[in-house]
Structure 1
């Protein structure tokens, strides 16, 4: 591989040309079961139908069919990014491709964007963010757990072939790290274009991030439960420096099509997470209040969320 080709791989993660030892390949059997295999010279992929020699693949093109000793045929292709993320080694749950695609669009991640991500998890979403920002952008990922950060680094470097120049991984808490940057000798993270939060309590980061997010910038939280969704939405509303939050989830349903048998497949990927997003207002401005009448009881005696501490929350009770 030439120096130019190696640079292209580091920036995009896309490899072309003959398969090489040290890269991954996906072997798909006749039942559409996929196996992620790291190619090693002299290695063998063992199956119940016999082994497949890695040397049959190394040096050849992708898109070929190899046969195990027992006679089972396997289609060999380099994994696409969406395949890589769902088969990568992991310490934490990954952001599924269907959600990663929505995050890139909802945040409007663009080449050259300055993006903050917390937490990094296993690095699945990080790969998508790095590809989207390109060589002129920057992704700064925060992860509190050392084992998660180490796994994320391994996965990202495995996909891109090396540590991407546009990526910085910080082991530690996002808010604490931002507060530490306020010292006299610190270089604070300013002019952030986009923020993606994949963490237990994203509402705890709103105040600190609001000070650094550019006007018009996007803050998006990826949460798993309705209680997290509600707390994040209410926190953004109470803050006042963001537009009305938007909440959504994406359900992906594949279809079976064979002759006259056309129907939804039974292995639908249902709920994985909710997306909550809002845009930063300019300093000194508040978004016009959304004209809506809360449902009866929405802010009743049992409500203990952020809005309960505001005059608006008190007047909205009942």
Structure 2
């Protein structure tokens, strides 16, 4: 059931999507007329609402992808196609103690917290206080209040507190953190890094091997190729989700 304060996605007959925050007495204005927010709430999630010019709009609550891909952001995010793989490669499930750095816009934090399902704990290190504050607002806006998430302001290159089951790194030089995982990552635990360039990837993997307490090292990238399926027209789209970053995963061994 929709209520004031909720976000919804309104989609018109041309498949244009609009994100709207519902407010008491509010109106959504468009070239095709206006829609009162009360009417959107009345239509409900999955419903149809008509504009004042009798144009149909579908009403849907935003998914994770809708939310993270359309928020106004000052920091780069981990894209959904990579987020899904990182959750699987990191074997994330409820009850784990997880460390991530940096938090950026909070998109990956949301995915981790949903996978934890209120059990376990996520600690997010972020060196920039403005990013930490902004990400906290985005996380609360999407998930509401969560009591198993801690944001710490600090430079993780200088170390961190605690011992974790999983470590996720989205940093310019993630190899500087690996030496702290000798004691900060449990034996058998997993580290996953999100790495933009091939030179960064090489340095990260070389460091994993030099430390001699990591095994099962795997590096890859994901390419998403959309297809058009419309009647007899079945073909690849003219565009593709190409390289966004490399993903590298390794397991911590007894040292």
The aligned residue for residue 217 of structure 1 is: 189
**Counterpart Cα distance in 1 of 2:106 and 2:245:** 17
1:211 is paired with a residue whose SS is helix
Deviation string for 1:26-46 (max 9, x for gaps)?
111222222211111111222
Q: 2:93 matched to 1:121?
A: no
SS at match of 1:58: helix
The corresponding residue for 2:162 is 189
Aligned length: 255
Q: Say if 1:91 and 1:151, in contact at 8 Å, map to a contact too.
A: no
Q: Distance in 2 between matches of 1:158 and 1:73?
A: 28
Structure richer in strand, relative to its length: 2
Of 123, 126, 135, which aligns to 1:140? 123
- 8 Å CA contact 1:140–1:167 kept in 2: the answer is yes
Identify if the C-alpha distance between structure 1 residues 69 and 267 changes in structure 2 by more than 3 Å, giving closer, same or farther.
Answer: farther
The aligned residue for residue 243 of structure 1 is 215
Q: Counterparts of 1:273 and 1:76 in 2: how far apart (Å)?
A: 33
Match of 2:252 among 276, 280, 286: 280
Aligned-residue offset at 1:209: 2.2
TM-score, normalized by length of structure 1?
A: 0.77
Residue number among 14, 21, 30 corresponding to 1:38 in the alignment: 21
Aligned to 1:258: 230
User: Take 1:71 and 1:272, find their aligned partners in 2: how far apart are those partners?
Assistant: 41
**1:10 match:** none
Among 139, 161, 173, the residue aligned to 1:201: 173
In 2, Cα distance between equivalents of 1:174 and 1:282: 23
Q: Please provide the CA RMSD for this pair.
A: 1.4
| Structure 1 residues not aligned, in runs of 5+ | 1-17, 179-187, 284-318
TM-score (normalizing by structure 2): 0.95
C-alpha displacement of 1:47: 1.9
Pick aligned residue for 1:170 from 152, 175, 179: 152
Give per-residue Cα distances to partners, 1:270-295, cap 9 Å, x unaligned.
11111011100112xxxxxxxxxxxx
Alignment-derived partner of residue 313 in structure 1? none
Instruction: Spell out, residue by residue over 1:42-101, the C-alpha distance to the aligned partner (whole angstroms, 9 max, x if none).
Output: 112222222222121125421111222334321110011122111123221111111110
Name the SS of the counterpart of 2:167 in structure 1: strand
Instruction: Tell me the alpha carbon deviations over residues 125-154 of structure 1, each in whole angstroms, 9 at most, x when there is no partner.
Output: 101100111222111011111221111101
Mapping for residues 76-155 of structure 1, pairs under 5 Å = 76-155=59-138
Counterpart of 1:63?
46
Match of 1:158 in 2: 141
Structure 1 contact 20–59 (Cα < 8 Å) conserved: no
Larger radius of gyration between Structure 1 and Structure 2:
1
